[in-house]
Amino acid sequence: MIVQRRLKDGTPRYLVRYETPLGREVARTFSRRADAEAWERSVKDSGRSGNCLPAPRSARTRTVTELWTDVLLTRGSRWEARTRARYVELFRLHVEPHLGRAKASAVTARDVRLWVQTLTARGLAASTVAQCVSVLSAVMIDAIEVGIRSENPCAGARPRAIAPEARKALTAAEVTALLGETPWPDRVVYLLAVTTGLRFGELAGLNVSDVDLSGQLLHVRRVVVEVPHEGQQIKPYPKGGATARRAIGLPEAVVQMLTEHLSGRQSADPLWPNLNGGRQWYGLASRCLRAAYSRARITEASGFHTLRRTAATLALQKAASIRDVQAMLGHKSPVMTLTRYAQADVDQQRAATGRVADTILTAAPGQNPDKTPKSSTPSTEG
């Protein structure tokens, strides 16, 4: 809509009004009607093509840091507390020093690529750099929503994920040695970890009431997370959301140990309390586990996730189905179970290749593959 106005000296001015994607009305003034009409057509064309409408001039000068504040107030309110704290730290350390003062409307894809190369050259892990790009991308998405930009310069800038190195899973003999070097309260939890594959936060979040001794079931209903500068928080669902709540069958030997461990305890008490009766903290619990690894002479172990990988590997080696192991670990996809947690077993490979060799050799009786067959060419002697 174009409105004609006149200044005090009678000079005509043409006012174009339009709405931003957030519903705010913005006006722009032109000295010529032809310019006003051209601008109005461009605004309408942008709306029909799905591109963002032009933002007011004051908004186009906003910096990345200023928009990040808006992101925290809007989109950031829906993030998990630990995710929010992580993103705030990444923005402070890696985004703000490089791009914080830049106008959000002026950041180009080349700027983002050079910034990613700088972070990589400093030795940051690919996963950390990818998270930094996600933080900046959230700012750019907000810039698109308010009409500052029409595209996201972070598209395609995330570094390729590096295939994770094969991590160690304990053998049954190593688990026995570990339990033998562990005092009683922790021994029960370690055995629970290598038979159910629970994460540390899920172990710390268990209550006495989550153990069904008569039904031989363990109910995973909550998780403990540690947020920097805020302490522990208990989420009423494990990692993966409410659908990740699950019940895991317990073997008879574990039930017997839990029966002794839970004797005289209240249902609301933590299953694995610290010295003060509260929930376990990851730092202290991890140090105790690593000390037990050292006493058992187990090398290349990496904290509680080693126990989780061990649970997956041993269960698959004992002919558990991939679907059951996936459900036990709380994974949404069996691909994660197979690629990140299940370990290859050389002994089983040897047994399988042996069965294949036996099948081949018994298919043609009387043949010895170690000897070269005689040539069938007729002899020319005599």
The count of other CB atoms within 10 Å of the CB of residue 109 is 14
Packing angle of the helix pair 304-317, 322-329 (nearest 10 deg)? 160
pTM: 0.69
CATH of 172-341, one of 1.10.443.10, 2.10.109.10, 3.40.50.800, 3.40.190.10: 1.10.443.10
The count of other CB atoms within 10 Å of the CB of residue 175 is 22
Q: What is the CA radius of gyration of the chain?
A: 32
DSSP code at position 239: T
pLDDT band at 382 (very low <50, low <70, confident <90, very high): very low
For 72-90, how does the pLDDT look when each residue is reduced to its tens digit (9 = 90+)? 988 888 888 889 999 999 9
**Interatomic CA distance for residues 43 and 241, integer angstroms:** 42
Listed by start position, the domains of the chain span: 2-54, 64-145, 172-341
For 223-278, how does the pLDDT look when each residue is reduced to its tens digit (9 = 90+)? 999 988 889 999 999 988 888 899 999 999 999 999 999 999 999 999 999 999 99
CATH of 64-145, one of 1.25.10, 1.10.150, 2.60.40, 1.10.1610: 1.10.150
